[in-house]
Amino acid sequence: MSVLARGSLGRYVAVRLAATLLLLLALSFIVFGLLHLTPGDPARNLLGPKNPSPEALEAIRAKYHLDEPFLRQYFLWLGNVLHGDFGTSIRSDVPVTTLLAERIWLTFQLAGLSFAITVLVGVPLGIAAAWRAGSALDRSVSVASIVGVGAPSYAVGLMLLYVFGVWLDIFPVYGSGDGGLDTLWHLVLPAITLAFGIGALVFKLTRTAVLGELQQDYVAFAYSRGLAQRQVRGLVLRNALIPVATSLGLVFGFLFGGTILVEVTFALAGIGNLLASSVTFKDIPVVQAITLLTALVIALTALTVDLLYYAVDPRVRKRGLQ
């Protein structure tokens, strides 16, 4: 039987990867198209506010292929990308891959740290709230989570920055530190900020999942058979945590995409901050590369999550993935 047989895992992965590629292709075309619909001119941006000579403008345009027809520019770019070359940043004249390599680690650290906070706070609180549904703990955390889900990271971040950075003076106010532990220390407040909203979402999800599982017939049956509460709760958790675990994978993707605002708020030199400034400058190659990279990370985490589902849930394994 071939790996691509109907209903097999190999075929499923292949189809998903192909869909991801199509998505990236469509996305890159849209971003490219947008840049061409807009009034700004990167060549003029680069040469500054002084009136540039026509020759200088021509030279810049020729260098970055800005003088070619739209479709030709797109295919030139696409051809280079397929060779691993994302072009050169128009603003800083540095290869895009170098720019990204300098910054991506910080963004990954930020997303990773706030992922850890989200999981370590959101999930246990959700379980505790569901065990004691209707209690003061449940109600207060539930109300807090409504605030948390809606609270914008930049506003929360600035408040935290004021309270812990300026007023109490515990955490550093700006920047990314000098690497290693110092960087981690600089990332604590940003990571908490980023985890705030998504942690609230994870809390809600966990609470709903555990509550739903507690209402199942097998729980009543287990109790009536005289199982200890601890044992029953073990059973409930095993079932309830499957949807939680899979949604956590998606959370990582969201965190990765959500770093822009937090990086700008805390002046961190990650790829989100780079994206924000590159958009202002209309630095096409950089915007393209970061958009595609983020979409790729999100698509790949989604795929990993589905495969994880397959690994942890015997029911899914039996039915096969759709």
The verdict on 303 binding another protein (CB under 8 A) reads no
Q: How many CA atoms lie within 13 A of 233 on its CB side?
A: 8
The verdict on 40 binding another protein (CB under 8 A) reads yes
Spatial distance between the Cα atoms of 146 and 148, rounded to a whole number of angstroms: 5
Which stretch in 119-127, 221-229, 241-249, 255-263 sits in contact with another protein by CB under 8 A? Answer: 255-263
The verdict on 130 binding another protein (CB under 8 A) reads no
In 3D space, the residue among 268, 250, 127, 130 whose CA is nearest the CA of residue 198 turns out to be 250
Among 199, 253, 270, 285, which residue interacts with another protein (rule: CB under 8 A)?
253
Residues between 166 and 195 with contacts to another protein, criterion CB under 8 A: 166-167, 173
CB of 158 to another protein, least distance (A): 4
Please state the three-class secondary structure of 100-137 as a single string: HHHHHHHHHHHHHHHHHHHHHHHHHHHHHHHHCCCCHH
The verdict on 280 binding another protein (CB under 8 A) reads yes
- Residues with Cβ < 8 Å from 197, sequence gap 6 or more? 148, 149, 150, 151, 152, 153, 156
In 3D space, the residue among 57, 65, 80, 79 whose CA is nearest the CA of residue 35 turns out to be 65
Among 106, 191, 260, 274, which residue interacts with another protein (rule: CB under 8 A)?
260
Q: Which is nearer to another protein, 254 or 309 (CB)?
A: 254
CB of 227 to another protein, least distance (A): 30
CB of 162 to another protein, least distance (A): 6
Residue 30 backbone dihedrals phi, psi, to 5 degrees = -65, -45
Among 74, 108, 131, 154, which residue interacts with another protein (rule: CB under 8 A)?
154
CB of 114 to another protein, least distance (A): 15
Number of Cβ atoms within 10 Å of the Cβ of 297? 18
CB of 225 to another protein, least distance (A): 30
Among 10, 79, 124, 152, which residue interacts with another protein (rule: CB under 8 A)?
152
The residue behind tokens 């915007």 is 287
Which stretch in 54-62, 125-133, 154-162, 213-221 sits in contact with another protein by CB under 8 A? Answer: 154-162
- Residues with Cβ < 8 Å from 45, sequence gap 6 or more? 90, 91, 281, 282
* Residue 4: both structure tokens together: 């691509």
Confirm if 275 and 287 have CB atoms less than 8 A apart.
Answer: yes
The verdict on 244 binding another protein (CB under 8 A) reads no
The verdict on 279 binding another protein (CB under 8 A) reads yes
What is the distance between the terminal CA atoms of the chain, rounded to a whole angstrom?
19
- Contact residues toward another protein (CB under 8 A) are 23, 26-27, 31, 34-35, 37-40, 143, 146-147, 149-152, 154-156, 158-159, 161-162, 165-167, 173, 253-254, 256-258, 260-261, 264-265, 275-276, 279-280, 282, 287, 291, 294-295, 298-299, 302
